Chains A and B, each alone.
Chain A
Amino acid sequence: AQSVAQPEDQVNVAEGNPLTVKCTYSVSGNPYLFWYVQYPNRGLQFLLKYITGDNLVKGSYGFEAEFNKSQTSFHLKKPSALVSDSALYFCAVREAGGSYIPTFGRGTSLIVHP
């Protein structure tokens, strides 16, 4: 079975400060990991993914995520937050070679204060 945990319902950060949104996962084999962002009144948009290779993955809007196999984590990061980054963020996992159906975390609301 596969699962994803986003331990924080909400993350608050000041504009210009670095941000981290946490995600941990559990799969039997190797993971495919994804981050999505949801702006108000919109569907989820794909941000970035980890499939294999370099543990640091770069994505849209200046976001990046670091895959840590030993800690089974895939935290989303950005060096300098913008007010416009305020949104709901979802982590998702699929098991490579396993079920095609992705499992989503419950989401983390990121609030960037001016």
Chain B
Amino acid sequence: EAQVTQNPRYLITVTGKKLTVTCSQNMNHEYMSWYRQDPGLGLRQIYYSMNVEVTDKGDVPEGYKVSRKEKRNFPLILESPSPNQTSLYFCASSPIPPRTGSNSPLHFGNGTRLTVT
């Protein structure tokens, strides 16, 4: 089954304790992205990657890191989490031109609810 898998689904941690949220897709997609979803703010992009070893900042990258060493994986790293990073996080992927054109929708994972105390 084609899917984007995030782990863990729920995570409670303390300020300053490094954590990693994993994201894996089995569709051979080039494009992957991380979003955070907060009430009243909708979806905000954190980082994205157009292909292996190619990453770039989104709208709210501060406090986050990513890596793209393999095409299927795109982990989100919080080196020193703070309470303002408490949020619902989504990973998404899609193919990109020229293989399929730029009109492909995003495929989303089921989310990771992070609480930082």
Contacts and interface: CB of A to CB of B under 8 A. Distances in A.
Given A90-B43, A101-B48, A106-B41, A43 B108 contact: yes
Contacts of B97: 100
A90 B111 contact: no
Contacts of A46: 105-107
9 contacts: A42-B111, A43-B90, A43-B111, A46-B106, A51-B103, A96-B102, A100-B31, A101-B48, A104-B42
B4 interface: yes
A106 B90 contact: no
B50 interface: yes
B13 interface: no
Q: Ordered nearest first, which 9 A-B pairs have the shortest CB separation?
A: A43-B108, A106-B42, A46-B105, A44-B108, A104-B43, A51-B103, A43-B110, A32-B103, A107-B42
A94 interface: yes
Interface size class for chain B?
20 to 34
Contacts of A106: 40-42
Interface SS, A side: loop
A49 interface: yes
Interface residues of A, number: 24
A45 interface: yes
Contacts of A9: 40
Nearest to B9: A41
A68 B33 CA distance: 29
A43 B106 CA distance: 11
Nearest to A103: B45
B81 interface: no
A74 interface: no
A41 B96 contact: no
B75 interface: no
A104 B43 CA distance: 7
A9 to B, nearest CB: 8
